[in-house]
Each structure stands twice: as C-alpha cells, then as structure tokens.
Amino acid sequence: MDYLCDKLEWFKSVILPHEGALRARLRSLRQKPESLDDLVAEVLLRAYSDAAWRGVEWGRAYLFTIARNLLIDQLRRAAIVSFDTAVDLDQLQSNVNLEAQLTTRDQLRYVERVIASMPPQAARVFIARRIEQKTPGQIAEEMQLSVSTVEKHLHKAIRLLMRAMAEQEASGVEQERSEHEGSDRATGR
C-alpha cells in the first residue's frame, strides 16, 4: 500500500506537472487532435508502468524521451519516414535545464481562472466543497439541490480542472519555445 501511495505521489509531483508541456510539444509535431489524446495517454501510461520509477526525478525529460521512442516505433511501422518528421522528433529531446515548475501563486491564479470559466453551478459547488469544506449534504441544502446533483456538479468541475491541467504548460521558457514553434506550425500545415 505504501508502495502504491509513493508511486502515485511521485506521479503527481514529478510527472503530471509536465503533461501540458508534453501535449504542447506533441501538438507542435503536427499530431492530429484525435491521435494527440491517445498519444499523451499512452506516454503517461508507459511512464507510470516503468518499474524503475523511483530513479526518475526530471519528469519533463522523461516524458519527452518516452514520447520520442513511441513515435520512432510508430514511424518504423509506417516504414516510410519523411525527412521532416525525423527532424521534428529531435524537438522531443529535452534539456533538463528547462525543467521548471510554476510557483504556487502562479498555479493558484491559473486554477482561479479555470474555476471562473466553469459553469456557475459547478464552480459554486466546487468552491463550497473544496475550499469551504462543506459536505455534499450541506451544499445540497444551501443550494436547494439534490445530493446527487451536487455530486454531478462536483464531478464535472473536477473533470474540467483535469482538462485545464492537461493543457497547462509549466514554464516560461517552454512558452517562449512554443511561440517559436508556432511559426513552424503555421507553415507546416
């Protein structure tokens, strides 16, 4: 049980903060939106399944390496590799110096924005449960909703937050880079 907890804790703090950067980078490699989600999911799955996870400290480099290997495998299967694609793959070589995490304050500001953009009911329920730490029963009473409706809103709010988190990039450096890549992307399609 401790092992499972440790591993989940590792995954949350070392790997997941870089999910957004991974997604952005894969997107810049002109992955189609439908395969993008599959690809990100597969990379995360492989990251989690690595038996040597305890040695992994630098989530970004680790995720990028997995993604790169995965794409190379796919390309091998596809047999014909365009020169462009091979060059693009080099972008997945991450420099660990670029590892960065948002400060708590940046993080919270981001979460605030996400909450502000949620449907009002979902936002209210989330704030009541998560921040005011009221029980679903109390919230249901106050908002004159059924408990199951409260739970539905809460469920929705968390999933919106998960989606936002998956898009969030972790560092200023990374954002600068993405802007450069933006121009590549524009000509590449």
Q: Which of 60, 92, 154, 177 binds another protein (CB under 8 A)?
A: 154
Q: Contact between 105 and another protein (CB under 8 A)?
A: yes
Tokens of 84: 């462009």
Instruction: Assess contact for 23 and 42: CB atoms under 8 A.
Output: no
Contacting range for another protein; rule: CB under 8 A; set: 20-28, 87-95, 112-120, 177-185: 112-120
37 binds another protein (CB under 8 A): yes
Q: Contact between 72 and another protein (CB under 8 A)?
A: no
The answer to whether 77 contacts another protein (rule: CB under 8 A) is: no
Per CB under 8 A, the list member of 99, 169, 174, 181 interacting with another protein is 99
The one segment of 45-53, 85-93, 138-146, 181-189 that binds another protein by CB under 8 A = 45-53
Do 126 and 157 touch, CB atoms closer than 8 A?
Answer: yes
Q: Which of 66, 136, 177, 181 binds another protein (CB under 8 A)?
A: 136
Shortest distance (Å) from residue 101 CB to another protein? 5
Q: How many residues bind another protein (CB under 8 A)?
A: 59
- By the rule CB under 8 A, 76 interacts with another protein: no
* Minimum CB distance to another protein, residue 161 (Å): 4
- Token pair 């790169």: residue: 68
Report the residue from 102, 143, 145, 173 that binds another protein according to the rule CB under 8 A. Answer: 102
